[in-house]
Structure 1
Amino acid sequence: IWKLAEEGDPARGLPACLSCHGARPTAAVGLLPRLDGQRARYLEDRLDYFAGDAAPEVLAPMTEIASRLTGDERAALADWFAARPPLAK
């Protein structure tokens, strides 16, 4: 699952999670949440929400990205980020 987080899957139109949620992008754009060290259940719930029909359009591109992930991938990514140490502010 680290490959999705670090490299994405261009064939499926999935950018790397860390391309937006890594240390450099989150430092440059304060609105991008840092995922490292957050609770797995919270992250999985958010990804499931983004993938569902109730998420508003304003959350794009996350609605598109999350909808391209399987449920197992969303859960595994949540676990992967939860196991990492939080990023320093």
Structure 2
Amino acid sequence: MNRVSLSFLKSLVVASLAVSGFACAADAQHAAAAKADPAKGATLFDSGDAARGVPACASCHGAGGNSAIATNPKIGGQFEQYVYKQLVDFTTPNRNQAIMTTYAKALSDDEKKNIAAYLATQKPTAGAARNKDSVELGRKIYRGGIADKGVAACASCHGATGSGIPAKYPRLAGQHQDYTVAQLEAFKAGARNNSVEMTALSKRLTTDEMKAVADYVAGLK
């Protein structure tokens, strides 16, 4: 190999390393930019952004996401990936809800991620079953499903204690009964259409069965 060829190869190697270095640096910057910031999420959740007409999430969902209003979900301690997905879904026809759709559309993608990251750091409060006459029915459906109606056990996806599976199925334990029933009814009616499984299963449940499951779920810890 002559000296010219050797010099050319050295130049090519140096150039390749430089390009690789720039690519690695760009990837690192992208990763840093994409990383959620729970502190920023906490500020937005607690205080909102008056300049953009975005109210504090806490005004409806309570401090730390632990709503005291039965129709508003407890979201403190919910999985980060799940909360983020729901905020995105609210901006689509799959989960159109007047209040949440308006506010979700006002949030940037990073803000959605920040809020989700903040909520995942919070500790969820416990709930309690209220109807002793139906809680046993709720337990049977949650833990064993209804075989003759093709209803799978809720526990098969959401866990025996309602703890859920990160990035797949949400935590349900302690959730308000009224909210859970409302979501099951929304799935059944097609008003909420962001889960194929829940749409199919909810159509096989009666209102009384929904209420029984919701009450049982509220008492899980």
Instruction: Give TM-score, length-normalised by structure 2.
Output: 0.35
- Give, in whole Å, the separation in 2 of the partners of 1:26 and 1:79: 17
Please give the residue correspondences for 1:16-35 in structure 2 after superposition, counting only pairs within 5 Å: 16-22=153-159, 26-27=164-165, 29-35=166-172
Moved over 2 A (4+): 23-27, 53-56
Which structure is higher in RCO with an 8 Å CA cutoff and minimum separation 6? 1
Change in Cα spacing, 1:44 to 1:24, as seen in structure 2 (3 Å) is closer
Per-residue deviation, 1:31: 3.1
The match for 2:151 is 14
Structure 2: give runs of 5+ residues left out of the alignment.
Answer: 1-136
> In the alignment, residue 10 of structure 1 is paired with which amino acid?
A
Contact 1:48 1:66 in 2 (8 A): yes
Please give the residue correspondences for 1:53-68 in structure 2 after superposition, counting only pairs within 5 Å: 53-56=190-193, 58-68=194-204
Per-residue deviation, 1:54: 2.2
Change in Cα spacing, 1:38 to 1:66, as seen in structure 2 (3 Å) is same
- Give, in whole Å, the separation in 1 of the partners of 2:145 and 2:172: 16
Contact 2:162 2:172 in 1 (8 A): no
Per-residue deviation, 1:76: 1.1
> In the alignment, residue 197 of structure 2 is paired with which amino acid?
P
Per-residue deviation, 1:32: 0.7
Structure whose CA Rg is larger: 2
Per-residue deviation, 1:26: 2.6
The match for 2:175 is 38
Instruction: Give TM-score, length-normalised by structure 1.
Output: 0.81
Per-residue deviation, 1:55: 2.7
The match for 2:142 is 5
Identity rate, percent = 35
> In the alignment, residue 196 of structure 2 is paired with which amino acid?
A
Contact 1:19 1:25 in 2 (8 A): no
Match status 1:75 vs 2:200? no
Q: Secondary structure in 1 aligned to 2:164? A: helix
Q: How many matched pairs?
A: 83
Structure 1: give runs of 5+ residues left out of the alignment.
Answer: none
- Give, in whole Å, the separation in 1 of the partners of 2:176 and 2:167: 20
CA distances 1:10-52 after superposition (whole Å, capped 9, x unpaired): 221110001001159834x423111111111111111111111
Contact 2:151 2:201 in 1 (8 A): yes
> In the alignment, residue 140 of structure 2 is paired with which amino acid?
K
Give the alignment's Cα RMSD to 1 decimal: 1.9
